[in-house]
Structure 1
Amino acid sequence: MGSTSSGRPADARDRDDDGRARNARPRDGLGRPLPYGADGVARQPEGVVRTPDRTVAEAQSLLDAGKPFHAHEVFEDAWKSGPEEERALWRGLAQLAVGLTHSARGNTTGGARLLRRGAGAVETWSMETGQRTPYEMDLTRLIDWARELAGAVERGDGPIDARRRGPRLRG
């Protein structure tokens, strides 16, 4: 059996305590894997159950810091642990954060596609439930932000700075 440059066996896989595959490599602020042993940005713990208000506050803090990949992980926890009737909202918000992540990484096709998909999911949820400001989030403004950013990404309006171009979830 060979080994990688990090000294890990070539066929070794990162596993959590329950044996599920987990990538333990450090990541940068946009969630890109770094070499083992490199200094990275602390990962968001997975499977955290937060109140919706705490979810929005933590995600906004991460977006403000230019860490949309990490904000996506917070939204993903809400999507997976929240009430069934809100899962489409949180999934759409996670897609918006991933769309910003891909856009900031320079992936114009994936970034624009995920921004539009997330905007569509949030809009559909809002229309189906009649809610425009759940947890004080202005969904209309958020949808407009995503579609405008998707257009800028597709036009090639320059590099996307995740910190500067991130959304305001609340007023």
Structure 2
Amino acid sequence: MAGERDRDAAGRARSARPRDGLGRPLARGARGVERQPEGVVRTPQQTLREAQRLFDEQHPFHAHEVLEDAWKAAPAAERDLWRGLAQLAVGLTHVARGNPAGATALLRRGAANLEPYRDGAPYGIDVPGLLLWAGGDGLPAGPPRLTR
């Protein structure tokens, strides 16, 4: 029926259209990039390894999905850390999509969420390096390094 939305197994609205490597929807039936499953429980180390792999393969949108799972599952004291990392991934997605205004806004927001962890981030996360990467002159050209 026209106007009905695609739904996932839990009944949440979720587009079934394939997506490109930057998360943009493609035409139905087109060949897209496999999406990251949502709600996957990973250790922080597994999350960081998977997100880094996706960044290195130039899939920042997919890295965002992995980091978003960690953000949603994190203890309260770490939520802004994971949220900031996810926002950096979205910022890099906007860079790759050619949206400098969106990229700048998300990179700044992500950096602001990471700032409180500058002197003591857990799991070997290189917050000072990420802040430099996100806040340098111009937009970042390559993937971030999440850990030291």
TM-score, normalised to structure 2, is 0.94
Question: Which deviations, in whole Å up to 9, do the C-alpha atoms of 1:6-43 show, x marking residues without a partner?
Answer: xxx43121101222101111111111111111110000
Partner of 2:138: 152
* Equivalent position to 2:128, from 140, 164, 168: 140
Segments of 5+ residues of structure 1 without an aligned counterpart are: 1-8, 154-159
Partner of 1:77: 69
Residue 152 of structure 1: SS of its match in structure 2? Answer: coil
Residue 14 of structure 2: SS of its match in structure 1? Answer: coil
Instruction: Say whether residues 1:92 and 2:80 are aligned partners.
Output: no
Count of residues in correspondence between the two structures: 148
**Rounded Cα–Cα distance in structure 1 between residues aligned with 2:46 and 2:10:** 27
**Rounded Cα–Cα distance in structure 1 between residues aligned with 2:42 and 2:29:** 30
**Rounded Cα–Cα distance in structure 1 between residues aligned with 2:9 and 2:56:** 32
**Rounded Cα–Cα distance in structure 2 between residues aligned with 1:96 and 1:116:** 8
Structure 2 letter corresponding to 1:152 = G
Partner of 1:169: 146
Root-mean-square deviation (Å): 1.4
Structure 2 letter corresponding to 1:147 = G
**Rounded Cα–Cα distance in structure 2 between residues aligned with 1:93 and 1:83:** 15
Structure (1 or 2) with the larger CA radius of gyration: 1
Question: Which deviations, in whole Å up to 9, do the C-alpha atoms of 1:57-85 show, x marking residues without a partner?
Answer: 00000000000000000110001012111
Instruction: Point out 4+ residue stretches in structure 1 off by more than 6 angstroms.
Output: none
Structure 1 letter corresponding to 2:143 = G
Give percent identity, aligned residues only: 61
**Rounded Cα–Cα distance in structure 2 between residues aligned with 1:64 and 1:43:** 16
Partner of 2:95: 103
Partner of 1:36: 28
